[in-house]
Amino acid sequence: MGGRISRAREDMHITSSQLARRLGVKSNTVRDWENDRAEPRANRVVMLAGVLGVSPTWLLTGFGDAPAATNVTMQLSGLIDQLSSLRDTHAKMGRTIKILELEAERLSGALGPQ
């Protein structure tokens, strides 16, 4: 189980200390789980699976979908959506700047020489 915990944690790009904080346990506890020196109790397995985005079954047995493909696909999809949104915002901001520049020029011309 330790290897699956560390694999899922690494796929989430978090440290063992960060995982420990999220679970409310000591960093040494997570390291012990990952090194198969101890196993989490049932309630912690469910919490651990939730935090790591995997099923408790996969965490306990290794059966089912491994986290990497699912997490990377979801992360990539989210990143692409964010980039698309940012691109749209950038284009809108460029158009707004151009409109404001034209309006400033128009107003400047209406005032005449100063």
Report the pLDDT averaged over residues 8-33: 92
- Do 7 and 61 lie in one domain? The reply is yes
Tens digits of residue pLDDT in 45-62: 999 998 998 889 999 998
> What range defines the domain where residue 78 resides?
66-114
Domain harbouring 6, CATH code: 1.10.260.40
Q: What are the pLDDT digits (tens) for 67-103?
A: 655 556 666 667 787 888 899 999 999 999 999 999 9
pTM for this model (two decimals): 0.58
pLDDT at 27 over 90: yes
CB distance 68 to 11 below 8 Å: yes
Using CB atoms within 10 A of its CB, is residue 33 exposed (0-12), middle (13-18) or buried (19+)?
A: buried
Q: What is the mean pLDDT of the chain?
A: 87
For residues 35 and 61, membership in a common domain is answered with yes
